[in-house]
Amino acid sequence: MRDENVAPAAVPTKVPPAASARAPLARAYPGEDPFALMQDRMDRMFRDFFREGWITPTAPAAVWKEWPRVDVSCDAESVRVAAEIPGVAEKDVKVEIDQGRLVLTGEKNDEKEEKGRNWTRRERSFGSFERVILLPDDVVTDKAEASFSKGVLTVVVPRKVDEKNKPRAIPVKSS
């Protein structure tokens, strides 16, 4: 017969040496511990949410200043800048070249309202942006062109063609 007032005997537990040796590594390498891996992925998701492409006009000012993201490419003929600015109207975008800098500015002011029988939903999105891209010294600013299509602003600034700086083959003579 068992006495209800007596605590059960402690069961000795022994941690295998291999498991205890891996425990410190679980914190150092997230792939070793599923919980550390999950924590690492969650941290990365939240960090990327506010930094990589999820930026909206209502985002904090520190993040908003990097919006819109731009792709800049240079070749021998031109400098090409493409900026994705969805939700911004063409009339609200301004492109300037000033002192060797391409300045993209714009403003978004959008308000939508839907009404139902017993409800009303209003969504507002507003804010402004400015991106400055330094241009090389050899651009021809008078011939720059900008186009806006489906939320993408594309600016092409031609470069000066210098015959002296074109690549050319130099014959090698034997001595």
98 and 45 assigned to the same domain:
no
87 and 149 assigned to the same domain:
yes
pLDDT tens across 132-169, in order? 999 988 899 899 999 999 889 999 999 987 766 677 78
73 and 119 assigned to the same domain:
yes
The parent domain of residue 45 ranges over 17-49
Out of 49, 69, 92, a domain closes at 49
- Residues 6+ positions from 91 with CB-CB distance below 8 Å: none
- pTM of the predicted protein model: 0.53
**Is residue 165 a part of any domain in this protein?**
no
pLDDT tens across 54-84, in order? 444 444 444 445 578 889 999 888 999 999 9
97 and 133 assigned to the same domain:
yes
Report d(CA 108, CA 76) in Å as an integer.
35
Q: Are strands 78-84 and 70-74 parallel, antiparallel or unpaired?
A: antiparallel
40 and 125 assigned to the same domain:
no
**Is residue 166 a part of any domain in this protein?**
no
Structure tokens at 4: 């209800």
**Is residue 23 a part of any domain in this protein?**
yes
32: Cα within 13 Å, side-chain hemisphere: 11
